[in-house]
């Protein structure tokens, strides 16, 4: 047994784990299971997040989740359609003209209707919370660095854009303040002119300075691939990614034909990887302090993916518990197997190495 | 190391070549100072070293530039990354990543240096430049001097043999500039790096230079040891050299230490002679500020500052970067943030007036004067200024002709030199005829000639009854221009008094002449010259 030192986990591991949990959440509307999944994700975040500012984003995702649930329920009350027998209360209905037949505003509100909205919203919210957990646990910029080298340029563009945005805001503020020094009496288009021109000039100067700096520091040194290879790379990557999209849709939506699911996902991944490998071969570049994939990464990823896979399987075996019935209205039950599967998803709270305490 | 063979550079639309027939051989481990007036081709010379001129800037380069045996004709700038490190004027504009450590590694990542070597070099460079405690800090939160050192570090990690620095200290306060220059000289002495450095404020650098390239502006390059180049005629020179010329010292002193060794004789000659008196400011108050507080959230930029300006007074506001100078100026003008306190200019508070009226009380020229310019010709800007100030048409143009004669009406403001652009903005602000004028860092990017002209302008304005405040790091400019100095630190005023009293005793703010002739209170070469004749 080796000593486990605090370190940052590979961001890819956290993303795989979170996607696994999200897949699990997409497979059920059982509110008990969904709450359990959200709780598992929350537990891991609380136990293993670092002190960096982006970890606070998790709160935003929780808030967003609440909004989604509320939104769904409110939507069902307004356009409820009055399905279900257990009427809780009746709102005055707003009569609509004949051409809007089929749409009903307000009217009687049934328990089935509310619960349907709640379950649906909860599922979406849980998936969001899973993604939020990944965002809070994995440094988004390390993720960019871990990307295959063919995607490196995208990463650079994102980093530069992220640092340019505050500069732009800064120069807008500066110029606006400076406009006041000249009286700033104009309004409308003329005033805009007085702000836009200096800001644009400023940002152009900055971009040129940045481009010159990047050029003289060796950016894009050996990126000269033959045109044929570039076209091939592009085609492979695009086709592969489209395949992955279709595949993910197939996996998440149980009603699509089976061959659109896992097989499509696999093929898409293969094709895209081939594209990346071919594109990356010509690039000579290294990464400073790369994140390595070690056993802990595999464990974490397996926990999440395992949860997803188990719920995928139980959906075939015993769908009733995963989709609690609304008619007849029944109390949702907690299926044991699925519950254990979700608990496995919470294990990284202890399995993952603790994050380093930043010294700043 | 660097070879220029008959290099001529001409830009499109330019009548004359910027550089013509330049031959240079710069060896290993030389610290080369590149000097000359604005627009004389310093940046072109520096850019030609790694091929940014003409690959990146355009233009036509005749002749041949070779660095470490590679020709810039056949190699692009990116292929020089491992040989030449380039640091621009504004370090922040050249940063690609956002934390110190990643920025140091960026260049090496591009050169495909193995990860283990990268880690080692980053640690070494952090120590070499004394920035180890900043390693995880975001680049934007660093002070100017720290940013400049990180920028130097970020090109050093690629182990270049040549370092090209374009005005590395122009935006820095004297102490931060010392830090950066100390780091650079250490590189030259300990590692034998060849350094090519352009700098307007020669007084900061010339003593460290082994060699000087002076560009007079006609395409030639005067090349030689600094003493020879400076001795050879009408070259703009730092005060200590001017003093040496005046006293007839041979060879010319480059540092305060050299000059001070020769100074006893001069001090004896000066003993008993009266210092030429500066014009006394009037007694009427131009501006009275009480208990000014400026805060940005938790940070208090200005802490209950009182300030009185008298008519005809030139006050220099000094202090390190971030000590609250700009915040105070903006608060006095009224368009900046002010949390607490009152400002009184002829009985009114500019902050309570609309911007249009406030600028008739207090005019402010901000740090980046070009922020005020947005029209496409000098004539249009002047006409707009007349309209904004309800002045007689032509007033702004007349002012401009007094400040900087001979600027063509049709020129685009961006094509003006730094000094001319400053004059234009100054003219625009003066069109409103404010009794109080505030200038934030006016000497940035100005050469000695432009600075001398600015000093004359400021003196004239004061004589005409304006009260002028200059926020600046330029001690030589302050010594020659200001009658009173206010020093700020952490939002407080820590010193306030006549220039001689505040400046002579301060290690950071004393001008070179004061350092040479102390304890006698002489501030500028002009004063000494006047006293001797």
Structure ipTM: 0.86
Note whether A187 contacts B: Cβ–Cβ < 8 A: no
Q: Is residue A287 part of a domain?
A: no
Range of the domain at A263: 228-282
User: Domain check: are A270 and A191 in the same one?
Assistant: no
Considering the entire predicted model, what is its pTM? Answer: 0.79
- Rounded Cα distance, B382 and B425, in Å: 9
What average pLDDT does range B439-459 have in this prediction? Answer: 88
Q: Which of A159, A181, A185 sits opposite B97 (nearest CB)?
A: A159
Smallest CA–CA distance from A215 into chain B, residue:
B78
Contact assignment for A182 to B84 by CB distance below 8 Å: no
Residue A129, domain member (yes or no): yes
Q: What does the mean pLDDT of chain A come to?
A: 82
Band the pLDDT of B91: cuts 50, 70, 90.
Answer: confident
Does A152 score more than 80 pLDDT?
no
Task: Mark yes or no for CB contact A284/B112 under 8 Å.
Answer: yes
Structure confidence at residue B110 (pLDDT): 87
Q: Please list every residue in chain A whose beta carbon sits closer than 8 Å to the beta carbon of residue B102.
A: 288
Of A180, A198, A205, the CB nearest to B355: A180
Contact criterion met (CB below 8 Å) for B222 and B232? yes
**Predicted confidence (pLDDT) per residue in B488-528, tens digit:** 999 999 999 999 889 888 888 899 999 999 888 899 999 99
Do A192 and A325 have their domain in common? Answer: no
- CB-based contact B309:B469 (threshold 8 Å): yes
3-state secondary structure of B518: coil
Task: Note the pLDDT of residue B23.
Answer: 94
Same domain? A22 vs A118: yes
Buried b (16+ CB within 10 A) or exposed e, A40-77: bbbbbbeebbbeeeebeebeebbeebeebbeebbeebb
- 3-state helix/strand/coil string of chain A: CCCCCCCCCCHHHHHHHHHHHHHHHHCCCCHHHHHHHHHHHHHHHHHHCCCCHHHHHHHHHHHHHHHHHHHHHHHHHHCCCCCCCCEEEECCCECCCHHHCCCCECCEEEHHHHHHHHHHHHHHHHHHHHHHHHHHHCCHHHHHHHCCHHHHHHHHHHHHHHHHHHHHHHHHHHHHHHHHHCCCCCCHHHHHHHHHHHHHHHHHHHHHHHHHHHHHCCCCCCCCCCHHHHHHHHHHHHHHHHHHHHHHHHHHCCCCCHHHCHHHHHHHHHHHHHHHHHHHHCCCCCCCCCCCCCHHHHHHHHHHHHHHHHHHHHHHHCHHHHCCCCCCCCCCCCCHHHHHHHHHHHCHHHHCCCCCCCCC
pLDDT for position A333: 80
Report pLDDT digits (tens) over B136-169: 888 888 888 889 999 999 999 999 999 999 988 8
pLDDT at A223 over 60: no
- On whether any CB of chain A is under 8 Å from the CB of B412, the answer is no
Q: Could you say which residues from 283 to 312 on chain A have a Cβ atom under 8 Å away from some Cβ of chain B?
A: 284-290
On whether residue A2 sits in a domain, the answer given is no
Considering the domain architecture, whether residues A142 and A187 belong to the same structural domain is answered as no
CB contact under 8 A, A220 and B95: no
Nearest-by-Cβ selection for B372 from A178, A193, A212 = A178
The reply to whether B140 touches chain A by the CB within 8 Å rule is: yes
Q: Tell me, what's the pLDDT at A196? A: 85
* Higher-pLDDT residue of B201, B235: B201
Chain B contact present for A255, CB below 8 A: no
More confident residue, B261 or A167: B261
Same domain, A106 and A173: no
Quick check: is A31 in a domain?
A: yes
**Tally of domains in chain A:** 3
Q: Can you name the residues that pair with B467 across neighbouring β-strands?
A: B436
Task: Please state the rounded mean pLDDT for residues A98-126.
Answer: 84
Identify whether residues A106 and A202 lie together within a single domain.
no
Q: Is pLDDT above 80 for A260?
A: no
B352-366 pLDDT, tens per residue? 988 888 999 999 999
Nearest to A360 among B97, B107, B137 (CB): B137
Q: Is B165 on the interface with A (CB under 8 A)?
A: no
Q: Does A108 touch chain B (CB under 8 A)?
A: no
| Confidence class for position A360, pLDDT limits 50, 70, 90 | very low
Q: Rounded CA gap, B402 and B457, in Å?
A: 9
Residues A142, A164 within the same domain: no
Secondary element (H or E) of residue B65:
strand B60-67
Interchain pair B109, A285: CB under 8 A: yes
Q: Chain B contact for A168, CB < 8 A?
A: no
Nearest-Cα distance to chain B for A260, in Å, is 40
Name the minimum distance, in Å, from the CA of B297 to any CA of chain A.
17
Mean pLDDT along residues B468-486: 93
Does a structural domain hold residue A18? yes
Using DSSP's 3-state secondary structure scheme, residue B454 falls into helix
CB distance from B86 to chain A under 8 Å?
yes
Pairs across A and B, CB distance < 8 A: 163
What confidence tier does A1 reach under pLDDT thresholds 50, 70, 90?
very low
Would residue A142 count as lying in a domain?
Answer: yes
CB-CB under 8 Å, A212 with B107: no
Q: Which residues face B223 on adjacent strands?
A: B213
Same domain for A136 and A162, yes or no, is no
Whether A47 and A144 map to the same domain: the answer is: yes
What pLDDT is stored for residue B232 in this prediction?
Answer: 75
3-class state of residue B150 by DSSP: helix
Are B109 and A285 spatial neighbours (Cβ–Cβ below 8 Å)? yes
Rounded Cα distance, B187 and B202, in Å: 19
Same domain? For A138 and A265 the reply is no
Token pair recorded at residue A117 = 């909205």
* All residues at 6 or more sequence positions from A94 whose CB lies less than 8 Å from its CB, including other chains: A105, A106
CB contact under 8 A, B94 and A359: no
Least confident of A96-105, B36-45, B122-131, B370-379: A96-105
Which range is most confident: A84-98, A262-276, A346-360, B52-66? B52-66
Of A178, A184, A193, the CB nearest to B371: A178
Q: What's the pLDDT score for residue A359?
A: 45
A197: nearest CB among B110, B154, B374? B374
pLDDT band, residue B345 (cuts 50/70/90): very high
The answer to whether A193 contacts B84, with C-beta atoms less than 8 Å apart, is no
Please answer yes or no on whether A218 and B111 come within 8 Å at the CB atom: yes
Q: What 3-state DSSP class applies to B484?
A: strand
Q: Which domains does chain B have, with CATH numbers?
A: 2-232 (3.40.50.300), 285-532 (3.40.50.300)
- A16 and A134 co-located in one domain: yes
CA–CA–CA angle A235, A237, A242 (5° rounding): 95
Calculate mean pLDDT across residues B220-249: 86
As a whole number, the mean pLDDT across chain B is 89
* Integer Cα distance of A158 and A160 in angstroms: 5
A220 CB within 8 Å of a chain B CB = yes
What would the pLDDT profile of A169-185 be if each residue is shown by its tens digit?
Answer: 888 888 888 888 887 66
> Which two tokens mark A315?
């959906």
Asked if B97's CB is within 8 angstroms of A217's CB, the reply is no
| Residue A234 contacts B, CB cutoff 8 Å | no
Q: A223 lies in a domain?
A: no
- A109 lies in the same domain as A62: yes
Residues of chain B with C-beta less than 8 angstroms from the C-beta of A356: none
């Amino acid at each position: 047994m080796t000593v486990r030192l605090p370190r940052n986990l590979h961001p890819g591991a956290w993303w795989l784990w979170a996607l696994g949990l999200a897949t699990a959440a997409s497979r059920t509307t059982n509110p008990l299971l969904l709450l359990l999944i959200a709780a598992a994700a929350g537990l891991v975040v609380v136990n293993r997040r670092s002190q960096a500012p982006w970890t606070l984003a998790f709160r935003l995702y929780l808030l967003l989740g609440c909004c989604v649930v509320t939104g769904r329920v409110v939507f069902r009350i307004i356009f409820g359609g009055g399905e279900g027998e257990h009427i809780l209360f009746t709102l005055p209905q707003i009569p609509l003209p004949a051409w809007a037949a089929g749409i009903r505003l307000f009217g009687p509100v049934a328990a089935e209707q509310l619960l349907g909205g709640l379950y649906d919203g909860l599922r979406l919210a849980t998936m969001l919370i899973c993604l939020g957990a990944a965002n809070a646990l994995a440094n988004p910029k390390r993720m960019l660095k871990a990307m295959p080298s063919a995607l490196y340029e995208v990463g650079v563009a994102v980093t530069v854009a992220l640092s340019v945005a505050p500069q732009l805001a800064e120069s807008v503020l500066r110029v606006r303040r400076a406009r006041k020094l000249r009286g700033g009496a104009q309004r409308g288009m003329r005033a805009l002119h007085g702000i836009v021109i200096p800001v644009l000039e400023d940002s152009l100067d900055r971009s040129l300075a940045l481009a010159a700096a990047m050029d003289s520091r060796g950016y894009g040194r050996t990126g000269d691939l033959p045109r044929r290879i570039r076209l091939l790379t592009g085609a492979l990557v695009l086709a592969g990614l489209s395949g992955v999209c279709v595949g993910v849709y197939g996996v998440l939506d149980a009603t699509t034909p089976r061959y659109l699911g896992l097989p499509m996902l696999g093929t898409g991944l293969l094709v895209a990887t081939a594209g990346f490998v071919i594109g990356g071969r010509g690039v000579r570049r290294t990464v400073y302090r790369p994140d390595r994939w070690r056993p802990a990464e595999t464990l974490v990823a397996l926990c999440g993916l395992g949860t997803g896979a188990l719920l995928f399987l139980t959906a075939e075996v015993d769908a009733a518990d995963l989709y609690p019935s609304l008619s007849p209205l029944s109390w949702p039950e907690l299926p044991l197997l699925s519950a254990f599967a979700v608990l496995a998803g919470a294990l990284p709270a202890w399995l993952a190495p603790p994050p380093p305490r930043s010294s700043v | 190391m660097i070879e220029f063979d008959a290099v001529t550079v001409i830009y499109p639309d330019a009548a004359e070549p910027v550089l013509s027939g330049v031959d240079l051989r710069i060896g290993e481990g030389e610290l080369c100072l590149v000097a000359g007036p604005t627009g004389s081709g310093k940046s072109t010379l520096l850019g030609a070293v790694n091929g940014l001129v003409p690959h990146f800037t355009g233009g036509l380069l005749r002749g041949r530039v070779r660095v470490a045996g590679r020709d810039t004709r056949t190699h692009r700038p990116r292929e020089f990354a491992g040989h030449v490190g380039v640091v621009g004027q504004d370090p922040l504009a050249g940063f690609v990543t956002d934390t110190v450590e990643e920025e140091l590694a960026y260049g090496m990542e591009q050169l495909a240096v193995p990860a283990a070597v990268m880690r080692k070099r980053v640690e070494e460079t952090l120590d070499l430049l004394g920035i180890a405690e900043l390693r995880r800090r975001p680049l934007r939160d660093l002070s100017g001097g720290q940013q400049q050192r990180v920028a130097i570090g970020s090109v050093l990690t690629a182990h270049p043999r040549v370092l090209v620095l374009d005005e590395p200290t122009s935006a820095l306060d004297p102490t931060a500039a010392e830090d950066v220059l100390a780091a650079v000289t250490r590189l030259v002495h300990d590692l034998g790096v060849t350094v090519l450095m352009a700098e307007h404020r020669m007084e900061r650098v010339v003593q460290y230079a082994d060699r000087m390239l002076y560009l007079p502006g006609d395409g030639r390059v005067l090349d030689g040891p600094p003493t020879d180049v400076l001795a050879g005629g009408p070259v703009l020179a730092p005060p200590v050299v001017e003093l040496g010329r005046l006293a007839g010292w041979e060879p010319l002193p480059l540092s305060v230490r050299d000059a001070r060794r020769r100074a006893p004789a001069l001090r004896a000659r000066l003993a008993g002679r009266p210092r030429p008196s500066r014009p006394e400011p009037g007694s009427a108050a131009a501006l009275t500020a009480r208990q000014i507080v400026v805060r940005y959230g938790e940070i208090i930029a200005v802490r209950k500052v009182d300030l009185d300006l008298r008519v005809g007074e030139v006050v220099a506001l000094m202090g390190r970067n971030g000590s609250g100078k700009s915040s105070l100026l903006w608060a006095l003008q009224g368009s900046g943030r002010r949390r607490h306190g009152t400002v009184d200019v002829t009985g009114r508070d500019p902050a309570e007036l609309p911007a249009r009226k406030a600028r008739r009380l207090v005019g402010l020229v901000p740090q980046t004067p070009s922020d005020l310019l947005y029209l496409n010709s000098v004539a249009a800007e002047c006409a707009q200024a007349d309209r904004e100030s309800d002045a007689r048409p032509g007033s702004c143009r007349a002012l401009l002709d007094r400040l900087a004669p001979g600027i063509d009406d049709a020129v685009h403001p961006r094509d003006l030199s730094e000094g001319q652009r400053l004059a234009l903005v100054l003219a625009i602000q003066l069109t409103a005829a404010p009794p109080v004028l505030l200038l934030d860092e006016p000497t940035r990017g100005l050469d000695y000639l432009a600075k001398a002209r600015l000093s004359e302008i400021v003196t004239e304005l004061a004589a005409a009854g304006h009260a002028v405040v200059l926020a600046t790091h330029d001690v030589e400019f302050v010594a020659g221009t200001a009658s009173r100095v206010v020093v700020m630190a952490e939002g407080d005023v820590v010193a306030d008094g006549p220039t001689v009293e505040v400046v002579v005793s301060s290690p950071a703010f004393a001008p070179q002449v004061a350092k040479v002739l102390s304890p006698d209170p002489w501030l500028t070469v002009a004063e000494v010259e006047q006293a001797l004749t």
